[in-house]
Structure 1
Amino acid sequence: QARDPARAGVAAAVSLAEALLSIPGVRGVDLSAVSPPGREPTTAGALATIGRALS
């Protein structure tokens, strides 16, 4: 169990995206998520953090 599950999830997503982007011919990844009601800002923030890490 991660001490900070949100941070661990972002790190895992960045790691996976970087691995996919290292494949010849892959030019991008789709960052999308379904958010539970009321958690939309948190989900959007996580996606933004992932996007910034990849740019």
Structure 2
Amino acid sequence: MLILYGFPFPNNLLKFCLLILYFNLIVICQENGNKTLNNYKNNKKIFPQKYKNY
């Protein structure tokens, strides 16, 4: 929000904040991916006939 109002924002600080946000997003995506993978594995155990092709 400060950037929108023309606040004199140091460039390095901005890059640093974006970098932190980016890494947070990567971590969140990886956690969601692992959950999905675990759900798939659990479903495979519970419903083996459903996942015969894989």
TM bracket, shorter-chain basis: 0.3 to 0.5
Structure of higher RCO (CA pairs closer than 8 Å, 6+ residues apart): 1
Return the structure number with greater helix share: 2
TM-score (norm 2): 0.40
Structure with higher Rg: it is: 2
